[in-house]
Structure 1
Amino acid sequence: MKFYYLLLVLSTILYGKPESPNIIFLVTDDQGWGDVGYNGHPVIKTPHLDKMAKEAVRLDRFYATSSVCSPSRASCLTGRNNWRLGIATPANSNWHLNAKEITIAEAVKAKGYKTAHFGKWHIGGFTEEKSPGHKMTPGMAGFDYWFSTPNVLPTYDPYKKGYKSGKYEMYWENGRNITLEEGRKRDDLKGDDAKFLMDKALNYIEKRVEDKEKFLIYFCFHNVHTPLGTIPEFSEQYSDVKDSVVYSSNVSAVDAQVGRMRAELRRLGIAENTMLWFTSDNGPNLKGKKSIRHGEAQGGKFNYTPIGSTGAYRGYKRSLYEGGVRVPGLIEWPALIKKPFNSAYACNMVDWFPTVMDALDIALPTDREIDGLSLIPFFKSGGAIQHRGEDMGFFCQGWAAWSGDRFKIVRVSKKGKWEMYDLRDDPFEEKDIASMMPEKFNEMKKAFDAWGESCQKDELKVVNEYKKITKNPRKKSK
């Protein structure tokens, strides 16, 4: 138990426990900004998300912290950029969230919260055998209850199909591996993975309500990351676009479960004071954007493929152009956000930690850099605050970027040339203006370099930790 956590518990005992919201984060995998009806997709049907977009806050500039999964997942739990955490690529058997980090699940315990993780984890292994030196389970990261997988699974009948990575890649419940043999006998683990995973989460919520306990849930869909299975319940509606059936039925499966979640919160009478988020961990895995089609949105520039859409935004998964990190973003919390609104205010998954700390009146740790900022003032303004005011840094697999309210600089590789774009006048990053605005470019590059130096100092601490636990420690990034 961390010293910071002990201080928070003590302060709660001394000063009481204010009324605070339940907190739920719903995160999909590899779902692009364009893969929802409300952003203009002409094929994919997402009626529940479209309804939420009308009734809640639609964040048109919501960003994943990274353009691949593990870095974003580590950042959203800590409020710290993945570069600081030493996680710049997907965490397989050679990465994990360092135990010295303070997670959002650990921090909220100071206010008596129950915490749970459901679905994909991917920021540490579940066994020393599979991930020697890099074991970090949801339980080790502060979650009281977890029904989780180390990485991805088939999205339909996962136990019937099994998974190529072996027995340890299936579901685990609080540290116990549910084997293929056991899983194939259980009716609650058959069919649509998104549905039976949501069944678990809704049962958990109902129990917390019965016991009058506040809760935080980090719910991670396996959809729409491969390996995808066709979801029969939603496939028929896409029969006229056969090459899109698999992907589209998976997005619709997610949509249906978001609808179930929202309906259950209302049935239980807790929707008013529940902070409910929906987003994706990075842009779609388009692998070159093949079979491109166009829709009417974004002035006719909206484009989509059978395996995902960034809308008209440039790039996709693994790039730091907008299409790699700009993702769907929705938030509802009626107790604080009284009226629905849309906003181009720049938000980031790294903001979740400081936002929750602010909402629960918990002081941020002072012994480490927090890259996110609290969105509570923005929410309270009802969208009147239009500018973030602080630039956001990105770092992933050699790519780097520094993005503000209007301008953005981006580097496509460690040795690549920096580019600059005006996101207000050129949101699709079509015209590099670095040479046209040298003063502004140099100002942003200087700010990025200062931030990067700070990140590398933190990263070095992680590298040194890895040296103690593995024969093949990773090197510090550049």
Structure 2
Amino acid sequence: MQRIKLVAFIITAFLSCKTALIAQNKNSKPNIVIVFTDDQGYQDVGVFGSPLIKTPNLDKMAEKGIKFTDFYSASPVCSPSRAALLTGSYPTRVGVPVVLWPNLPGGLPTEELTIADMLKTQNYATACIGKWHLGDKEEYMPTAQGFDMYYGIPYSNDMSVYPKAKVSEKVLFREGMTIDSLRQKKWRGGLVPLTEQNEIIEYPVDQSTLTQRYTKKALEFINENKEDPFFLYLAHSMPHVPLYASAEFKGKSKRGLYGDVIQEIDWSMGKILETLEALKLDENTLVIFTSDNGPWNLKNGHGGSALPLRGYKFQTYEGGMRVPMIAQWKGAIPAGTVCSEVASTIDLLPTIAHLTNSDMPEEIVDGKNIWPLLAGKKKASPHKKDGFFYFKESTLEAVRKGDWKLRWTEEGIELYNLAEDVSESQNLAEAHPKIVQKLIKMMDEFDAELKTDNMRYQ
């Protein structure tokens, strides 16, 4: 009897292992989830020091994964930061140095290879949910840039509708709007459309429901593609102003409406992580949470906080471009890791290419593979040698090399040691002229190379 039980146990164990191997082989490439918030300050997460905003899901994500203290967006404003994330290069190199407005020509050139384009060559299902802001004409929309599906607002939530946009036959008009009023060229700031694929399905969208609806779509996409590799790019419209939270979260934060919005985004993050775990996908999924740039400098409480950093959105001080970043991948990223090496959104494409055995773009890519940092290995930043550059539109204003940061604007030359002065309060330019000279030379050489490479978009 014992022998029979032993044989049965061995057979069961063998079949379980075989089933696990089949499942692993079927989806051997890792799933990729990038959650990108809009104008969220460096401090506006519990594990980054927020005194009033509660983010239990993001805090738990950091406990189970890694927190980056020196992680940067490639721009202090919306469109360029998104172009950089998706292409792995500085915005000026890929032809999107400024914010793109609806009704105007232009967008991210389709010649540029996006993360979604790259992963489609590896048979990934790809989805963009939320804010796009890389061109609202059909030839620049997500479905022309490697994404199978798109659902969201094509630009910032304070902008206006593109009057010539395609409109679904089943469109829901709200607040007395009609097809005739949509087609008018009159600017209506804050009255924005909800778009699915390339058609408007609601106008104006009820922004208080956005975070919930984006999350629902994201969970549907994960469930629909659980058997195959997928790439989910969830770019929340919040906390860009005007701020909106659902009834479930409104009035719940000690930080006012801004805090309500962040706590709802935290809820969304929790639902995604919970779903991945329930589907047993957490051991094969890299999840990244970060922001597109620093917070607005608003006096009405609707802006975030970048403390202890100096500066805000639109600026190349740390507060404008250093952003919170948390990553999780069960079994691959050591739990409770903190990384203080310099890394950036431009590093995501090269890192994902490494993890998925995808071919890199033929053109120059500024980002580096940061998988060793994500994996918790004690490695120096891949930007330590070449430096990390801070652009304001097409103007190169600053460079960081190691702990030193040089900022050169019309207001003069500033030099900071970020290891000792993260708030950029003590200008050391006069005390270290050789370091100033060295960093200015680095900026000049990089700027000259970048402008030569970017001639195809002039």
Quick check: TM above 0.5? yes
SS in 2 for 1:82: coil
Cα offset, 1:165, TM superposition: 4.2
- Structure 1 counterpart of 2:378, one-letter code: A
Once residues 337 and 41 of structure 1 are traced to their aligned partners in structure 2, the CA distance between those partners, rounded to angstroms, is: 24
Work out whether residues 84 and 458 of structure 1, in 8 Å CA contact, stay in contact via their aligned partners in 2: yes
Cα offset, 1:227, TM superposition: 1.4
Once residues 242 and 319 of structure 2 are traced to their aligned partners in structure 1, the CA distance between those partners, rounded to angstroms, is: 22
Once residues 302 and 198 of structure 2 are traced to their aligned partners in structure 1, the CA distance between those partners, rounded to angstroms, is: 37
Provide the identity percentage: 30
Work out whether residues 343 and 386 of structure 1, in 8 Å CA contact, stay in contact via their aligned partners in 2: no
Give CA-to-partner distance per residue, 1:4-41, whole Å, 9 cap, x none: xxxxxxxxxxxx99932100100000000011111111
Change (3 A) 1:174 1:235: closer
- Structure 2 counterpart of 1:404, one-letter code: K
Partner of residue 28, structure 1:
37
Partner of residue 311, structure 2:
315
Among 70, 78, 87, the residue aligned to 1:61: 70
Once residues 71 and 369 of structure 1 are traced to their aligned partners in structure 2, the CA distance between those partners, rounded to angstroms, is: 17
- Structure 2 counterpart of 1:149, one-letter code: I
Please, which runs of 5 or more residues in structure 1 have no aligned partner? Answer: 1-15, 128-134, 184-188, 292-304, 464-478
Partner of residue 199, structure 2:
176
Work out whether residues 243 and 302 of structure 2, in 8 Å CA contact, stay in contact via their aligned partners in 1: no
Cα offset, 1:237, TM superposition: 2.7
Change (3 A) 1:417 1:41: same
Cα offset, 1:233, TM superposition: 1.6
SS in 1 for 2:36: strand
Cα offset, 1:160, TM superposition: 5.0
Larger C-alpha radius of gyration, 1 or 2? 2
Map of 1:141-156 to 2, 5 A cutoff? Answer: 141-153=145-157
Partner of residue 243, structure 2:
228
Bigger drift between 389-398 and 60-69 goes to 389-398
Partner of residue 14, structure 2:
none
Cα offset, 1:383, TM superposition: 4.2
SS in 2 for 1:108: helix
Partner of residue 219, structure 2:
202
Bigger drift between 87-96 and 21-30 goes to 87-96
Change (3 A) 1:191 1:441: closer
Change (3 A) 1:53 1:338: closer
Once residues 113 and 205 of structure 1 are traced to their aligned partners in structure 2, the CA distance between those partners, rounded to angstroms, is: 12
Bigger drift between 216-225 and 33-42 goes to 33-42
Partner of residue 408, structure 2:
411
Instruction: Count residues with an aligned counterpart.
Output: 408
Once residues 317 and 95 of structure 1 are traced to their aligned partners in structure 2, the CA distance between those partners, rounded to angstroms, is: 23
Map of 1:96-107 to 2, 5 A cutoff? Answer: 96-107=107-118
Once residues 450 and 141 of structure 2 are traced to their aligned partners in structure 1, the CA distance between those partners, rounded to angstroms, is: 24
Partner of residue 361, structure 1:
357
Once residues 173 and 309 of structure 2 are traced to their aligned partners in structure 1, the CA distance between those partners, rounded to angstroms, is: 37
Scaled by the length of structure 1, the TM-score of the pair is 0.80
Change (3 A) 1:458 1:361: same
Scaled by the length of structure 2, the TM-score of the pair is 0.83
Map of 1:28-177 to 2, 5 A cutoff? Answer: 28-92=37-101, 93-127=104-138, 135-153=139-157, 160=174, 165=188, 169-177=192-200
Cα offset, 1:460, TM superposition: 2.4
- Structure 2 counterpart of 1:222, one-letter code: S
Once residues 140 and 188 of structure 2 are traced to their aligned partners in structure 1, the CA distance between those partners, rounded to angstroms, is: 18
Give CA-to-partner distance per residue, 1:242-296, whole Å, 9 cap, x none: xx42111111110100000000000111011101000000000114xx48xxxxx
Partner of residue 445, structure 1:
440
- Structure 2 counterpart of 1:317, one-letter code: K
Among 192, 196, 202, the residue aligned to 2:209: 192
Among 418, 422, 425, the residue aligned to 2:417: 422
Work out whether residues 49 and 258 of structure 1, in 8 Å CA contact, stay in contact via their aligned partners in 2: yes
Once residues 230 and 173 of structure 2 are traced to their aligned partners in structure 1, the CA distance between those partners, rounded to angstroms, is: 29
Once residues 392 and 152 of structure 1 are traced to their aligned partners in structure 2, the CA distance between those partners, rounded to angstroms, is: 27
Once residues 457 and 346 of structure 1 are traced to their aligned partners in structure 2, the CA distance between those partners, rounded to angstroms, is: 26
Cα offset, 1:421, TM superposition: 0.8
Give CA-to-partner distance per residue, 1:71-120, whole Å, 9 cap, x none: 11001111110011222221112541111111111111221111110000
Work out whether residues 85 and 346 of structure 2, in 8 Å CA contact, stay in contact via their aligned partners in 1: yes
- Structure 2 counterpart of 1:41, one-letter code: S
Work out whether residues 351 and 375 of structure 1, in 8 Å CA contact, stay in contact via their aligned partners in 2: yes
